[in-house]
Amino acid sequence: MQKPAYDVKEIEKHLAQYIADLRAPAVLKDAMHYSLQAGGKRIRPLLLLSTVSALGKPAGRGMQTACAVEMLHTYSLIHDDLPAMDDDDLRRGKPTNHKVFGEAVAILAGDGLLTHSFGLIAEDPGLDDALKVKLIALLAKSAGPEGMVAGQVADMEGENKTLTLEELQYIHAHKTGKLLRFSVLAGAMIGGASTEQLEKFGQFADHLGLAFQIRDDILDIEGEQEKIGKRVGSDESRHKSTYPALLTLEGAKQELRRHTRLAKQCLAETGAETGALMELTGMIETRDH
Amino acid sequence: MQKPAYDVKEIEKHLAQYIADLRAPAVLKDAMHYSLQAGGKRIRPLLLLSTVSALGKPAGRGMQTACAVEMLHTYSLIHDDLPAMDDDDLRRGKPTNHKVFGEAVAILAGDGLLTHSFGLIAEDPGLDDALKVKLIALLAKSAGPEGMVAGQVADMEGENKTLTLEELQYIHAHKTGKLLRFSVLAGAMIGGASTEQLEKFGQFADHLGLAFQIRDDILDIEGEQEKIGKRVGSDESRHKSTYPALLTLEGAKQELRRHTRLAKQCLAETGAETGALMELTGMIETRDH
């Protein structure tokens, strides 16, 4: 993995601090902290902060909102791993939340992260009220029953079925695409992007989201288990529809290259200082976990 | 039950409409709708709307925020009933969400309701941005890891233990008290209450919350199973600490009367038109379900 465009350690320090600051039962804080600090690439907060920087705003503007997105993403992983959902024992090479804290605490840690993420945006010191309201409305749409949660439901309903490419795209656009798109758009809004720039950043995010998911599917076939931190080949054994299954492995790799190229083209067209975002895009194309 | 101070049907019509408006998978909308329409006293939206009215604002101002609180409350019931939590088959006399839709959809329906509730406040047409931000920050605190979720964790940890009165009060203040308090304070903020009035409404809400919980514990001993819609005596069989267990049944009834009286006294001291809230308070003291 290349050196990330923004300091991941800085993000993780803030994440840890927000949890430490909570007046809450110790086991709840431990469970929230455990999954937040279990690694991960921090792609969403990196996208958000790098987009803010690309528009010339001071480094760290929107940090609290960036961490809110990471908390929300982490809640979705905790709930997704539950026995009633994907029933995963490992996440990023470590025992999943419910394996360590039990199912009840895992459900509540997820609920707590989701709820707190909205509070963090409402109290982000770098944003005015009008912007906070817009971000919260967009996050609720991106993560809720019209966004990520819709994707989770569609994904479950699609298991053990052969999906069309259109159905597969609906699932990914919602399950992972919407929150990636939120991260970029939130950064653009915090950075004060023009209407035209917002449009271009949105298109960038859509191509990036597709590239991200196609890479995920390819890694499930070609990746090294140690680096991914979960079992390779799990999609196939669960009879999940994937891009390689629908397009062949070579076809999927072509699509990955195409969407990465288009993502970079959209970035260039924003006219912003997108060096860090170009790097992140390259990282997403070539990541090994 | 006395005639409620506000039209419950109106609230339920709005709740149904907000779900119908969602562009989401049918099974997800069905599951969210099912638990929202499974009855319930609508105490939280009634408190919010009646407080707005008490301060002379037009009826219906804050409706979207009132429905958001009911959605958030409903998510907490769905997750609380899950096999990993209280493992309840019945809620308000009907099969619980996971019994009808399965655990995975129930978890996601809860996640969806929780997320959407923040979106509804952010898009409540009757509120300005500064107020929306305050309400969202307060709701996240009241419902999240420092509020309701903390209460749920403490409640779980307290099972099969004898709690002190202080520990019992921590649980209730967080598990049910914070969201009731939010409902009243949100109504007061939307109604434009003065600092002194906010203080009094807050005290009212605290006494009301205690009265509410004590009545709940008494109903678990004396109530009629048919009216409550769940098994009577379940607290005792689960070795849950309750007010009657700590104070005797008679002592608990005295406390119920005392907190109801103090709640009404605080209401009177707000100087607002609190007729409907007085009625609601009386209803909470004498409710049979």
CB A186 within 8 A of CB A73: no
Residue of A nearest to B22 (CA): A146
If you average pLDDT over each of B33-37, B86-90, B213-217, B245-249, which comes out highest? B33-37
Quote the pLDDT of residue A228.
62
Using an 8 Å CB-CB cutoff, list chain B residues near A84: 102-104, 107
Contact assignment for B115 to A25 by CB distance below 8 Å: no
Residue B2 has pLDDT above 60, yes or no: no
In our burial notation (b when 16+ CB lie closer than 10 A, e otherwise), range B3-22 reads: ebbbebeebbebbeebbeeb
Quote the pLDDT of residue A220.
87
Q: Which of A27-31, A105-109, B156-160 has the lowest mean pLDDT?
A: B156-160
Residue B1 has pLDDT above 50, yes or no: no
Residue carrying the six token digits 């439901």: A153
Task: Please report how many Cα atoms fall inside a 13 Å half-sphere around the Cα of residue A54, on the Cβ side.
Answer: 32
- Smallest Cβ–Cβ distance between A140 and the set B27, B115, B134 belongs to B115
User: Quick check: A116 contacting B, CB < 8 Å?
Assistant: yes
Our CA-based measurement puts residue B182 at a distance from the nearest CA of chain A, in whole angstroms, of: 14
Residue carrying the six token digits 């101002």: B61
Burial classification of residue A258, based on how many CB atoms lie within 10 Å of its CB (0-12 exposed, 13-18 middle, 19 or more buried): middle
Average pLDDT over residues A143-149: 98
Contact assignment for A152 to B102 by CB distance below 8 Å: no
Residue A4 has pLDDT above 60, yes or no: no
Confidence of residue A7 (pLDDT cuts 50, 70, 90): confident
Residue B83 has pLDDT above 70, yes or no: yes
Which A-chain residues 27-56 have CB contacts (< 8 A) with chain B?
A: 27-29, 32
Average pLDDT over residues B49-73: 95
Selection from B143, B113, B121 nearest residue A149 by Cα: B113
ipTM comes to 0.95
User: Quick check: A266 contacting B, CB < 8 Å?
Assistant: no
Quote the pLDDT of residue A256.
96
- CATH fold, domain B8-286, is Farnesyl Diphosphate Synthase (1.10.600)
**Positive/negative CA dihedral, A186, A192, A195, A201:** negative
Contact assignment for B119 to A150 by CB distance below 8 Å: no
Confidence of residue B7 (pLDDT cuts 50, 70, 90): confident
Which A-chain residues 205-264 have CB contacts (< 8 A) with chain B?
A: none
Which pLDDT tens digit goes with each residue over A69-82?
999 999 999 999 99
Confidence of residue B3 (pLDDT cuts 50, 70, 90): very low
Helix/strand/coil (H/E/C) assignment for every residue in B135-184: HHHHHHHHHCCCCHHHHHHHHHHHCCCCCCHHHHHHHHHHHHHHHHHHHH
* Beta-bridge mates of residue B114: none
Residue B5 has pLDDT above 60, yes or no: no
Instruction: Determine which helix (DSSP H) or strand (DSSP E) holds A180, and give its type and residue range.
Output: helix A178-190
Confidence of residue B88 (pLDDT cuts 50, 70, 90): very high
CA gap B42, B65 in Å, rounded: 13
DSSP for A22-83 reads --S-HHHHHHHHHHHTS----HHHHHHHHHHHHTTPPTTTTHHHHHHHHHHHHHHHHHHHST
CB A199 within 8 A of CB A178: no
Q: Where are the domains of chain A?
A: 8-286
Confidence of residue B232 (pLDDT cuts 50, 70, 90): low
**Positive/negative CA dihedral, B171, B176, B180, B186:** positive
Task: Please report how many Cα atoms fall inside a 13 Å half-sphere around the Cα of residue B253, on the Cβ side.
Answer: 7
Q: Which of A217-231, B119-133, B202-216 has the lowest mean pLDDT?
A: A217-231
Quote the pLDDT of residue A241.
82
Length of chain B: 289
Q: Mean pLDDT score of chain A, rounded to an integer?
A: 93
Average pLDDT over residues B219-247: 76
Residue A2 has pLDDT above 50, yes or no: no
CB A259 within 8 A of CB A43: no
CB A80 within 8 A of CB A74: no
Paired sense of beta strands A90-91 and A94-95, if any = antiparallel
Burial classification of residue B232, based on how many CB atoms lie within 10 Å of its CB (0-12 exposed, 13-18 middle, 19 or more buried): middle
CA gap A48, A55 in Å, rounded: 11
Confidence of residue B225 (pLDDT cuts 50, 70, 90): low
Our CA-based measurement puts residue A283 at a distance from the nearest CA of chain B, in whole angstroms, of: 31
User: Quick check: B107 contacting A, CB < 8 Å?
Assistant: yes
Contact assignment for A23 to B146 by CB distance below 8 Å: yes
Quote the pLDDT of residue A34.
98
The percent of residues above 70 in pLDDT, for chain B, comes to: 93
